Amino acid sequence: MTFFSVSQRPLLKEGYLSGGYLPQILNPKEDYSLKLDHMGKAYILGMKGAGFASPNPSVGCVIVCQDTVIARGYTQSYGGQHGEKVAFEGLGDIPKHLWEKCQIYVTLEPCHHHGKQPPCTDLFVGKPIQKIFISRKDPFLSELGIQKLKDMGIPLDIGQMEKETTAWHLPFLFHTLHKKPIIALKWAQSLDGYLVDYQNKSQWISGSQSSYYTHWLRQKYDAIFIGGRTLIEDIPKLTARYPNGELQRQPLRMVYDPLGDLFHRSNLEFHEKLKSLTLSETSPLMYFILEKNWDMQSPLSQTLRNSPQVQIIMLPEILNFKDHIHWILNTLPKSIQSLMVEGGTRIHQMFLSSGLADIMHIFIAPIFLRNGQHPYEEPQMLTKACRHKLLAHDRIGEDMILEYAVSSEVTQLFEENTHA
């Protein structure tokens, strides 16, 4: 048994992480919604739209009649039907007297505006629904969707599983309120806090189930960010993969290499591995470098230019890392609501020291390395150290996963009482 003081308890219920319901992630062929209440069922449904519904939030909806689920739906790919619409279409036409026995559970406030789809609130017109349960308000709607439902005379219950759905919809909520992508840091470390060993090796600190969750996060987040040195050391594909095959959506891949470290390792063996691994994937890759460090004479420059999925972007001549990141974020398509930083250690250090991180996913493996690199650039005095808000923790195989809210913007989203 684990003991926590009130202030140390994670914000999310057991089993729930910011990436979703962990048992469902680790065992995708099982339907864990059968073990959960109706809002939990809606939540699990919303997970089915992870990634490909973006930039729309992936909303789950269930329609319940006399405690039996009679229809369900989740948000389809961007531009497609919302979760409520899918559920209503699955139900078809039913007599008015049956609606009086129906309750609807939805993870986010139904929209009231015309976009690529008509307003979801129109679905409820003329239906004497017993009650609608809404987990969380949508800040984009300014409660107009809720007000429209109230005007129809439908009883509402707002706030079931609010913290869990806030975490699930965090990229959408954060981007809606702050008009910038949320930045998540992800790393695996030893019990004594090292991300790499004394030989600068990190593959693999954490176990296979931690890897499953990492790939799930890659699907959920819109973009993956690494430094040039990580590309050199690991030559990663940076794709979302499950043991049973590809996931539904691949993230935008981003490599930050202002000094052109990639060209310093441009030997034939590295060149061939890069082509067979990172550059063999078709998902887009943005490569950021200072123009003065671009080596036109290197065979690598021609390989990058001839790779249709690679976009080469010359960084402005500024020395400040924080300004570089702000500039990069402004170059991204507006559909990019979230960015997961996977390393390396130096990149994590710069994001933390620059105050650019919003949330952290930390995998802790049951090993001691005794030497290596920490994710912190400089020592910190205890009196000045910041205590981050614990969102969730869980056992994942032999590892532990800890998730923290880092920025005040994220913390405030969980402190809001949106159902007041």
Give the residue numbers annotated as catalytic, written as ranges: 84
Other C-beta atoms closer than 10 Å to the C-beta of 378 total 6
Residues whose CB falls within 8 Å of the CB of residue 338, separated by 6 or more in sequence, listed in order: 54, 170, 171, 174, 175, 181, 182, 183, 184, 220, 221, 222, 223
CB 108 within 8 A of CB 136: yes
* Amino acid at the residue 347: I
For 84-132, the DSSP string reads HHHHHHHH----HHHHTTEEEEESSPPP-S-SSS--GGGGGTT---SEE
Establish whether the linkage from the previous residue to 55 is cis, with ω within 30° of 0. Answer: yes
Strand order in the sheet with 60-65: 68-74, 60-65, 102-106, 131-134, 156-158
Residues paired with 418 in a beta bridge: none
Residues whose CB falls within 8 Å of the CB of residue 27, separated by 6 or more in sequence, listed in order: none
Question: Nearest 5°: CA angle at 229, between 243 and 279?
Answer: 50
Note the Cα 184 to chain centre separation in Å. 8
Pairing of strands 310-315, 285-290: parallel
Residues whose CB falls within 8 Å of the CB of residue 214, separated by 6 or more in sequence, listed in order: 186, 363
Rg (CA), the chain: 23
Phi/psi zone of residue 48: left (φ > 0), alpha (ψ -120 to 50 degrees), beta?
Answer: alpha
| Cα separation, 262 vs 219, whole angstroms | 26
Query: In the block, which residue shows the tokens 């349960």?
Result: 133
SS3 category, 27: coil
